[in-house]
Chain A
């Protein structure tokens, strides 16, 4: 027997759906606008003409394709390195009986609150010989203190009995980590992996500070350059290059190119997100 719903509840549903639809549209429309503009010669919501000139212009520079490869490489390697380092450290810190644990945690916390500032950091990078290498984009921010602490809590939330029983069976610490703890932490790893990847992919300032060889620029630097070129905002036309095309389309195309890889990544990790990120911070 189907329950007949009251009028009030129906009205509420209608309102609810309209409201949610509006919210959805509001967040979707800017994206639609960006994509549409990048393919059109005019800046209207309803495109009057379709053209891929903006994209052709972006990809016309060798440097752009090269920088795309650089970015992909740095993102892949960097995410792996950063996740590996974070996991190793978080796992060590998740042992309550680790000597000096509170001291290390305190040190981690301090870095969350205070930073040395740009120039001291530059000196550190310089003295460790990272200048002008891709590692300068990976090592300096390799471990995020915040993610580290969440990861640590996540590892701690895994029942101790599991680890103990594994050890009784003769597994040593690394085996426990790789065979028991990490497989159980996949949601968290997926989430933090994505955060790290997005972070590296969007990295711009570090590249500018530490890298002076144009062949090693990640894509963001080149994109920013294209944007500035296309907007004609060259402080003092020190450049004779003329932009072959309507600036706004190029800017929008740049946004599409810069965000697309990350957007593509998202659906694959979506299922881990729902339960992944802060799971470890709540004991229950």
Chain B
């Protein structure tokens, strides 16, 4: 027996060691080359191209192959050698915290708008992981052209770290079926009252002239915030700062309550979809594209796509949009951050000021006239021709490859610096609207100040308000119930959040 045991032991050892050996062979043979960015940079001297590693989210099916025409042009223009790592949009957001924790950085880290105040970003910025770029900006003419307010919105502790991907500051629009409105012989609404009339007509007057009662006014989805009507009723944008520096939350105001009463009216009269709490994006856009609903609320750049989608099943579908409805409080619209995320520059991969300037230079060059033309119009001679100093698109050309680089890397809007050109009517309207809206913006004072309580539990507290909001619209609670929910929000942390904002606001003001 003992001999047997000894034998067994040997065999077991043999087995174990062979297993381990096998494993090591596996792993050794198959580890891919890691894109570690801490390697010493090539192109440190001023003559060779600067090696720039980028990572960003790509929202498409296939990223253009390496060495494609667009990449070549960008590399030549900016004197860089690009190493691009495109990640699917979804993967990207989940990868970021891990990347920041592991310290393996590309040369520019795009932080999504929603992550601006996430703890992992805050901690990294406060821990000195990223360069403060404020002092260098004036060396870059195109980057310093960016609206100061937007830089203001993405400051940390009053200092500039990021280069924003600029978007219109106020671009919330009502997208509606223009051909329906014409069928009904109505005009684009200017006031809440006219808007209400339009929705009623869309619901009850057979706007699509098919003899069936199969349309309704406006479609909403579960992910949409409920503050769309608030500015027209005079409510603040999330928070209002009083003269003596007190912070007042929108939900505590009467104006806000008026705006949700209006939504309840739409719901009660059947002018909006009853299932707004459960449908998600595809069903929501489908409702408009298939001609069930006549209005939706989205960002101004979606209108074109919605129209294209609708014209697949109904070639006569025509869309248009407007932003502001008046209701005795003058023209008001809520401003957003004015950016879709921003780039931070890690010290781990850009070790010297020299390298930082080269990275900033890359973005600056992309925002120059030459770069803007590429991102806005494409490659000259392929996507557009210059006729009398204006860009003229060559029909039926595919801009996907340009978009794959342009969308994530453009900082200053390409149309700002590019030569003029012919745009589609909807794109023209979009430019006009977003410009017009800038005159009537109401901004959210808390964009660049931090409340720890909000970071910690703000999201959970919002749920109280959102729930109450939905219940009120659906008639499950009345005014008393709504007020009770607001009180609950205040007592469970809302008041504390307001206090923290007040202090942060004072501090930030003192610094200016």
Contacts and interface: CB of A to CB of B under 8 A. Distances in A.
Contacts of B286: 43, 246-248
Nearest to A231: B282
Given A232-B305, A238-B57, A224 B112 contact: no
B281 A240 contact: no
B91 A208 contact: yes
A88 B19 contact: yes
A237 B308 CA distance: 14
B465 to A, nearest CB: 23
A242 B11 contact: no
Contact of B407 (A42, A131, A229, A238): A238
A224 B55 CA distance: 19
B16 to A, nearest CB: 9
A238 B100 CA distance: 23
Contact of B11 (A88, A126, A174, A238): A174
Contacts of A88: 15, 19
Contacts of A41: 313
A214 B63 contact: yes
A271 to B, nearest CB: 32
Nearest to B14: A174
B399 A240 contact: yes
B386 interface: no
A244 to B, nearest CB: 8
Interface string A158-193: 000000000100001110000000000000000000
A32 interface: no
B89 interface: yes
Interface in A224-256: 224-226, 228-243, 245-248, 251
Interface residues of B, number: 66
A225 B32 contact: no
Interface in B13-63: 15, 19, 23, 26-28, 30-35, 55, 57-63
A222 B58 CA distance: 12
A130 B404 CA distance: 29
B285 interface: yes
Nearest to A227: B282
A232 B61 contact: no
B94 interface: yes
Contacts of A85: 19
B26 A135 contact: yes
B90 A122 contact: no
A65 B305 CA distance: 27
B302 interface: yes
Interface string B381-411: 0000000000000000001101110011000
B301 interface: yes
A203 interface: no
Given A237-B301, A238-B59, A225 B89 contact: yes
Interface in B84-106: 85-91, 94-95, 97-98, 101-102, 104
B11 A173 contact: yes
A217 B312 CA distance: 32
A242 B61 contact: no
B167 interface: yes
Nearest to B97: A119
A14 interface: no
A61 B408 CA distance: 21
A134 B30 contact: yes
B305 to A, nearest CB: 6
10 contacts: A60-B61, A88-B19, A135-B31, A207-B91, A225-B59, A229-B59, A229-B61, A238-B89, A241-B59, A241-B400
Interface of B: 4, 7-8, 11-12, 15, 19, 23, 26-28, 30-35, 55, 57-63, 85-91, 94-95, 97-98, 101-102, 104, 112-113, 167, 280-283, 285-286, 289-290, 299, 301-302, 305, 308-309, 312-313, 340, 399-400, 402-404, 407-408
8 residue pairs, one from A and one from B, having the closest CB atoms? A132-B32, A238-B407, A129-B31, A240-B403, A208-B91, A231-B282, A239-B59, A61-B61
Interface of A: 41-43, 60-64, 85, 88, 92, 118-119, 122-123, 126, 128-135, 139, 167, 172-174, 205, 207-209, 212-214, 216-217, 221-222, 224-226, 228-243, 245-248, 251
